[in-house]
Amino acid sequence: MYRHIEQAIEAELNGEPAAADSLPLATGFIEKVSRRKFLKISGGSAAMALAMQIVPGSALAYDPYPTGAEGMPHKTVIDPQVFVAIDADGTVTLTTHRSEMGTGARTSVPLALADEMEADWSRVKLRQAEGDEPKYGNQDTDGSRSLRHYLQPMRQMGASVRLMLEQAAAQKWGVDVSLVKAENHEVHMKDGSKSIGFGEVAADAMAMELPAFEDLTFKTDDEFRYLGKGEVPMYDLHDITTGKARYGADITLDGMKFAAVARPGVVGAKVISVDDTEAMKIPGVERIVKIAGSMPPAKFAPLGGVAVVANNTWAAIKGRDALKIEWSDSPHSTFNTAAYADEMRATAKKPGKVLRKVGDPDAAFANAKRVFSQEYYQPHMQHAQMEPLVAVADYKEGKLDIWAPVQSPYGARTDTAAALGMDPKDVRVEVSLLGGGFGRKSKCDYVIEAALVSKEIGAPVKLQWTREDDVRGGFYHTTSVERLEAALDSNDKVVGWRHRSVSPTLFSLFVEDPGHTSALEGGMGLVDTPIGVENLVAESGEAKAHTRVGWFRSVSNIPRAWGVQSFIAELAHDLGRDPKDMLIELIGPDRKIDPVAADMKDLWNYGEPYEEFPNDTARLRGVIELAAKKAGWGKDLPKGEALGIAAHRSFVTYVATVVRVKVDDNGNVSIPETHMAVDCGFCGNPERVASQMEGAAVMGMTLAMHSSINHENGAVTNSNFHDYPVVRINSYPKQVHTHIVEHPFSVHATGIGEPGVPPFAPALANAIFAATGKRYRDLPFGENVG
């Protein structure tokens, strides 16, 4: 998200609704752009770069399509010399430029290249790219974009290298290239008379001139060896099971020191005085370093505080805990969760800023026979990724080397360079595996801290956050009140629809708090609602941030799906209707929503050109019906058991979830079965999609039942897993079945890292209601409904 957000902010604040230059693809429907225009791929080395163009008559197995990749900073680079190396022994080394945090992107993206070039995956090695977007193209691993944006460029590079290998072999044999064919790491004469390994022609092949795009051939779907099959495990699987996989803290440099930081409890508070007497007595503690603080909007600047430097992590943490620090006051020390929630609820009852209006909702509500309305609350939440933040930095003679688990390696590089007043040329960022990210590791405050400390002490340093630091020094998922209203006529027909969202914006990290949900956040289930009621209004109520609000996996889709999908089930109950039928009826007839007619012309479409990735209600209905069918919607269940359903489009992927709950006599809720139907276009790796859905179910259950970051007088009161609990193996949703809607490559692949999360909480609450008659409108609602 991160650097795309900065572009979005610029566009929004400059009042460029169509965002003509900075966001060309977010709003692709405004301007009927030719595919050709989008397919000019910018290259790293201009001479080598290929332009993907549609050439009449070329043997394409699919029709190339534009994606939002070309609207991202540094776009894509399509250059085999950058991404592919082949040794004489046949080892193929592919550069993988996306961060791995559990989705499988580090494997699945280069797998597409290997498949198209006919490489044998067992002879492929991966090299993780350092943060260098001018060289590799955009590296921001978030927004569920890795496959969405990189399947085509990877295939194009694979097809180019395959042809170069064929040309080299043909040259060696003195035959026409049409007589040879690359297959499974070898080039054969089509008549079977000769074959030669990739390694043996590699040097000649890689010295070939890059073929023109129109000379490339692409595999047809049935020729894929790996794509769409889900049979290739994650590249790091073996290393993960043996402890060899390297995460952020798993590097040691000569002379490296260890650091832990005392940060202010309240955002914006500053160090007045520090007494390090006790800290310095801890064996292993060497010195302290002050880090300057910041007040939002300050992007990812460190919170500030005092670092304790020691000869091991344990000593640094103990030393940090022994510091006595006097902190200044902060304007945010008045922030209290309960009072803030009350304020949001009050705001939600008043008219808000209109973001979208269709028909005449005011008249519909004024003339309604009755109005049905409810409010849904969601507190701030924190990522709680398993690996607490950590970074290793080595500043030496004007150069800075960083090793860190980062979702945006180039962002971390440029931000850290700026914080230290350096030229990004002098900063190098190596990316380790990420022990989870969920959006937190897009924000590089921890990297900047390590760099500042290394520079100050003149030695390499590993700066480790504790779990408490991580819980209390977060960039929190927004809190929200979603108010839904339905105007009913005398036949109980829904004739008006109002969705008012009150929710502090993550834009407040970057600019003076606008006080309203942004277009980007509005596009996550508020403005882009598929609800087809003829009189409809989407509004934002004012709310200002009092902490660092940042994105968390699925972002604003979580509160929006929570509100809308709970409300529809409530409305169905009120009207004596089946919730699934009601949901499908409210979505209305199958259609690709026409954004102009629907007053969504400023719609944020996850950065994708709308024509290529439209909001297609037939696909939404498709996943609803699929999940319902697989779950046996409508069947009789034992006493205490019931189904709940919810569906949501996010990151241009459609997911419907049916949760089956079991509530025992004591009110304890368990989840014996869940069905998730996913329409993500062409599915590159079904095995990882299933794994993401299973994980999304667990995260959805956690946030539904447990997650609430609480502020008292500006400071977070949670600290560790005992008061910020997550679902464990003794209560997880059992038997999560993932049903993937099958599509050919021509149906554009979309993302899967995030879209599984939003429908889970409302499906669960709807199931609990169906089982017990108890309706939850505030998250989290705990695991006992007695």
Partner 1 sequence: MAISIKVNGQEHTYDGDPSIPVLWYVRDVLDMHGTKFGCGTGQCGACTVHVDGKATRGCLLSLESVAGKEITTIEGLDPNGNHPVQKAWRAHNVPQCGYCQAGQIMSAASLLADNPKASGEQIEQQMAGNICRCGCYQRIQAAVESAASEMEG
- Amino acid 561 reads A
- The entry of ligand FES, partner 1, none near residue 513 (CB within 5 to 8 angstroms by kind) is none
- The entry of partner 1, ligand FES, none near residue 407 (CB within 5 to 8 angstroms by kind) is none
Between 156 and 408, CB nearer to partner 1? 408
Dist. CA 526–CA 482, nearest whole Å: 9
| 734 is a site residue for partner 1 (CB under 8 A) | yes
Footprint on residues 382-421 left by partner 1 (CB under 8 A): 384-388
Between 559 and 695, CB nearer to ligand FES? 695
Between 104 and 296, CB nearer to ligand FES? 104
Indicate which single residue of 77, 112, 165, 249 sits in contact with partner 1 (rule: CB under 8 A). Answer: 249
Dist. CA 41–CA 341, nearest whole Å: 47
Is residue 760 within 8 A of residue 646, CB to CB? The reply is yes
Indicate which single residue of 102, 153, 753, 759 sits in contact with ligand FES (rule: CB under 6 A). Answer: 102
Is residue 652 within 8 A of residue 610, CB to CB? The reply is no
Angle, helices 557-575 vs 579-587, to 10°: value is 110
Q: How many residues bind partner 1 (CB under 8 A)?
A: 63
Q: In what order do the strands lie in the sheet with 285-291?
A: 285-291, 305-310, 257-262, 461-464, 390-396, 399-404, 427-431
Between 154 and 699, CB nearer to ligand FES? 699
Indicate which single residue of 436, 559, 686, 753 sits in contact with ligand FES (rule: CB under 6 A). Answer: 436
Dist. CA 361–CA 367, nearest whole Å: 10
| 559 is a site residue for ligand FES (CB under 6 A) | no
Write down the least CB distance from residue 762 to partner 1, Å: 18
Footprint on residues 358-387 left by partner 1 (CB under 8 A): 384-387
The residues pairing with 372 across neighbouring beta strands, listed in sequence order, are 486
Indicate which single residue of 125, 190, 244, 399 sits in contact with partner 1 (rule: CB under 8 A). Answer: 244
The residues pairing with 288 across neighbouring beta strands, listed in sequence order, are 308
| 439 is a site residue for ligand FES (CB under 6 A) | no
Footprint on residues 460-519 left by partner 1 (CB under 8 A): 464, 466-467
Write down the least CB distance from residue 545 to partner 1, Å: 25
Assigned token pair, 764: 């669960």
Between 241 and 666, CB nearer to partner 1? 241
Residue with tokens 């880090």: 291
Q: Of 282, 281, 303, which is closest to residue 292 (Cα–Cα)? A: 303
| 752 is a site residue for partner 1 (CB under 8 A) | no
Between 235 and 567, CB nearer to ligand FES? 235
Between 239 and 326, CB nearer to ligand FES? 239
Between 434 and 487, CB nearer to partner 1? 434
Write down the least CB distance from residue 442 to ligand FES, Å: 17
Between 436 and 514, CB nearer to ligand FES? 436
| 437 is a site residue for ligand FES (CB under 6 A) | no
Indicate which single residue of 436, 439, 541, 681 sits in contact with partner 1 (rule: CB under 8 A). Answer: 436
| 699 is a site residue for partner 1 (CB under 8 A) | yes
Q: Of 251, 271, 253, which is closest to residue 261 (Cα–Cα)? A: 271
Between 462 and 621, CB nearer to partner 1? 462
Between 102 and 137, CB nearer to ligand FES? 102
Between 264 and 686, CB nearer to partner 1? 686
| 657 is a site residue for partner 1 (CB under 8 A) | no
Write down the least CB distance from residue 709 to ligand FES, Å: 19
DSSP reduced 3-state for 636: coil
Residue with tokens 């993500």: 680
| 312 is a site residue for partner 1 (CB under 8 A) | yes
| 237 is a site residue for ligand FES (CB under 6 A) | no
C-beta nearest to ligand FES: residue: 386
Angle, vertex CA 123, rays to CA 122 and CA 127, nearest 5: 105
The DSSP line for 93-161 is EEEE-SPPSSSSHHHHHHHHHHHHHT--GGGEEEEEPPS-HHHHB-----TT-HHHHHHHHHHHHHHHH
Q: In sequence order, what are the residues at sequence separation of 6 or more whose Cβ sits closer than 8 angstroms to the Cβ of residue 46?
A: none
The DSSP line for 690-754 is HHHHHHHHHHHHHHHHT----EETTEE---STTTS----TTTSPP-EEEEEPP--TTS-----SS
Between 60 and 251, CB nearer to partner 1? 251
- The entry of partner 1, ligand FES, none near residue 273 (CB within 5 to 8 angstroms by kind) is none
Other residues' Cβ atoms within 10 Å of the Cβ of residue 397:
7
Q: Of 661, 688, 676, which is closest to residue 759 (Cα–Cα)? A: 676
| 283 is a site residue for partner 1 (CB under 8 A) | yes
Indicate which single residue of 237, 339, 346, 386 sits in contact with ligand FES (rule: CB under 6 A). Answer: 386
Q: Kindly write out the interface string for residues 678-697 of this chain, putting x where it contacts partner 1 by CB under 8 A and - elsewhere.
A: ---------x---xx-xxxx
Is residue 648 within 8 A of residue 557, CB to CB? The reply is yes
Alpha helix segments (H runs only) across 208-281 = 237-242, 277-281
- Which listed range, 211-219, 234-242, 347-355, 536-544, lies at the site for partner 1 (CB under 8 A)? 234-242
| 722 is a site residue for partner 1 (CB under 8 A) | yes
- Amino acid 396 reads K
| 200 is a site residue for partner 1 (CB under 8 A) | no
Q: How many residues bind ligand FES (CB under 6 A)?
A: 3
Write down the least CB distance from residue 684 to partner 1, Å: 15
Assigned token pair, 497: 């629809």
| 238 is a site residue for partner 1 (CB under 8 A) | yes
Between 116 and 694, CB nearer to partner 1? 694
- Amino acid 724 reads Y
Is residue 613 within 8 A of residue 652, CB to CB? The reply is yes
Write down the least CB distance from residue 589 to ligand FES, Å: 42
Dist. CA 653–CA 750, nearest whole Å: 6
The strand pair at 480-488 and 324-327 is best described as: unpaired
Cα-based torsion angle of the residue sequence 241, 244, 249, 254 in order, rounded to the nearest 10 degrees: 170
CA distances from 4 to 10, 15, 75, 609, 715 (A): 10, 17, 11, 14, 30
- Which listed range, 13-21, 135-143, 357-365, 431-439, lies at the site for partner 1 (CB under 8 A)? 431-439
Write down the least CB distance from residue 102 to ligand FES, Å: 5
Between 271 and 308, CB nearer to partner 1? 308
Contact residues: partner 1, CB under 8 A: 100-104, 233-234, 236-238, 240-247, 249-250, 252, 258, 283-284, 312-315, 317, 384-388, 433-437, 464, 466-467, 687, 691-692, 694-699, 720-722, 726-730, 732, 734-736
Residues that bind ligand FES (CB under 6 A): 102, 386, 436
